[in-house]
Amino acid sequence: MEQLSTIGLDIAKNVFQVHGVDEGGNVVVERRLRRAGVLDFFRRQPPCLVGLEACASAHYWGREIAALGHEVRLMPPTRVKAYVKWGGKNDRADAAACCEAVSRPSMRFVPIKTPTRQAVSLLHRSRRLLIEQRTRLVNAVRGHLAEFGIVAPKGTAGFARLLGETETSPSGALPAVARDALMALVEQWRETDRQIEILSARILAWHKHDSDSCRLATIPQVGPIVASALVAVAGDARRFKNGRQFAAWLGLVPRQNSTGGKERLGGITKAGDCYVRQLLVVAATGMIRRIRTNPALFPWFADLLNRKPPKQAAVALANKIARIAWALLARGGTYKAPQTA
């Protein structure tokens, strides 16, 4: 049997498919493995190139297989899909596509996260989920009370006033059965809010002990939440050639639809991690009020606000912040404010 040089691995929960080829591209092995036998299979193979899609549990299997001496590369599923053979999708076709795609020189790869970076990402994802649940609970309470004629202004202060009116409203305005149902939602809202504060404190504690995250926090409008999320997602920033590639990886560059030598640019591509992109845009939006009182903070942004709508200017500033973050992660140092002429 010829020696394997490249292996495509289609991962799942319990059933895994292997597709291996030799140096000449000839198929050597096509095998279905159970979960317990995956590491035993790769332990018996000589060091080779292993490609798999960056989907659920891919970072775990990437770390485990790489520890056995193999070179593991994770690939975005959207890029692997182009190499699936015509005739339908199945495990064998997916494994063969991974084997073919991982050897392409133009393929883009996803860095394997360390357990620490993956844990920080989990903190952020859990916090985001709880924030969404808290928002749904607030909207539910507001909507139900509006059916009984009890309304309040928007915002946290308005919701607190709404809760006070709910607890002290006369029984004629709010029946006891409705009050019991609403108080169950209110208690869940309070517990969710408490859990969000706990996760935020954990993120802040990790941020204080990570040098990269602390350096990113020197950028205006970048706090512990944004800085720690960027560090957890970016990985090794030196894999990007420049800051524009990093901003494009986050989906903060215009989408092109050019042909015939005519450039047509649309909205941003919205590729990459939507959570980090959302954090950057929200942080940039908060700069609008600051820049109007202190234009020297970002002179070019103050000029941009005079020419463009605020939302477009905020997206442009988010792109700028992403480029600055790449420079600090790839080259070291801290943020230095631009010198005015």
CATH number, position 11: 3.30.420.40
Least confident of 164-168, 251-255, 267-271: 164-168
Question: In this structure, are strands 15-21 and 6-10 parallel, antiparallel, or unpaired?
Answer: antiparallel
Residues 320 and 239 in one domain: yes
**Residue range of the domain that includes 325:** 211-331
Q: What percent of the chain has pLDDT over 70?
A: 97
Residue 109, in any domain of the structure: no
Confidence of residue 30 (pLDDT cuts 50, 70, 90): very high
Radius of gyration of the chain (CA): 26
Residue 304 tokens, joined? 């941009």
Residues 267 and 305 in one domain: yes
For residue 100, what pLDDT is reported?
Answer: 95
Residues 202 and 301 in one domain: no
C-alpha–C-alpha distance, residues 55 and 8, integer Å: 14
Confidence check: pLDDT of 62 > 70: yes
Confidence of residue 164 (pLDDT cuts 50, 70, 90): confident
pLDDT single digits (tens) 287-327: 998 888 888 777 888 889 999 999 999 999 999 999 999 99
Domain final position from 101, 130, 149: 101
For residue 300, what pLDDT is reported?
Answer: 85
Domain final position from 159, 183, 208: 208
**Total residues belonging to the chain:** 341
Average pLDDT over residues 11-31: 94
Helix (H) or strand (E) segment spanning residue 81: none
Residues 197 and 220 in one domain: no
Q: Which residues of 283-292 are buried (b: 16+ CB within 10 A; e: fewer)?
A: bbbebbeebe
pLDDT single digits (tens) 80-137: 999 998 777 899 999 999 999 999 999 989 999 999 999 999 999 999 999 999 999 9
Residue 106, in any domain of the structure: no
Q: Which residues of 31-60 are buried (b: 16+ CB within 10 A; e: fewer)?
A: eebeeeebeebbeebeebbbbbbbeeebbe
Confidence check: pLDDT of 337 > 50: yes
Residue 277, in any domain of the structure: yes
For residue 1, what pLDDT is reported?
Answer: 44
Q: How many domains does the chain have?
A: 3
